[in-house]
Amino acid sequence: MWRFSIVNLLRTAYKTGKLVIPHQYQNHITDLTSFNRFINPEYNKLWHVHFAKAQPSHHQNVDYLGRYLKRPPLSNSRLLHYDGKEVIFRYIDRKTGKQEKHTSTTF
């Protein structure tokens, strides 16, 4: 449900000209067919989405959102490598309490 909604939102934004394609993808995404070819694999990926429980006070909700919206999800100090195709970063594994490395490809 979540993936479907987000991908449909992106498709609608692309069709109406409201989606800004990053410069590095503009040569690859030139029409709706190429956009769909780019976005379709996202349906099959596992998305890790976490929604915190709403707080009883709207002020607490705004404070919570403000903490996460004003900073990047991955700080520069955790980045170990980025070459445009792959990113490696460190994180704390909550199960073991140990620092681990994760490698992910960009899209």
β-pairing, 99-105 with 86-92? antiparallel
- Render pLDDT for 3-15 as a digit per residue (tens, 0 to 9): 888 888 999 999 9
Report whether 50 contacts 94 (CB < 8 A).
no
pLDDT more than 70, % of the chain: 93
Looking at the predicted structure, is the pLDDT value of residue 64 above 90? no
- Render pLDDT for 83-99 as a digit per residue (tens, 0 to 9): 888 889 999 988 899 99
- Render pLDDT for 16-38 as a digit per residue (tens, 0 to 9): 999 888 888 889 899 999 999 98
Q: pTM of the full predicted structure?
A: 0.46
Looking at the predicted structure, is the pLDDT value of residue 107 above 70? no
CA distances from 53 to 5, 57, 64, 86 (A): 21, 12, 11, 33
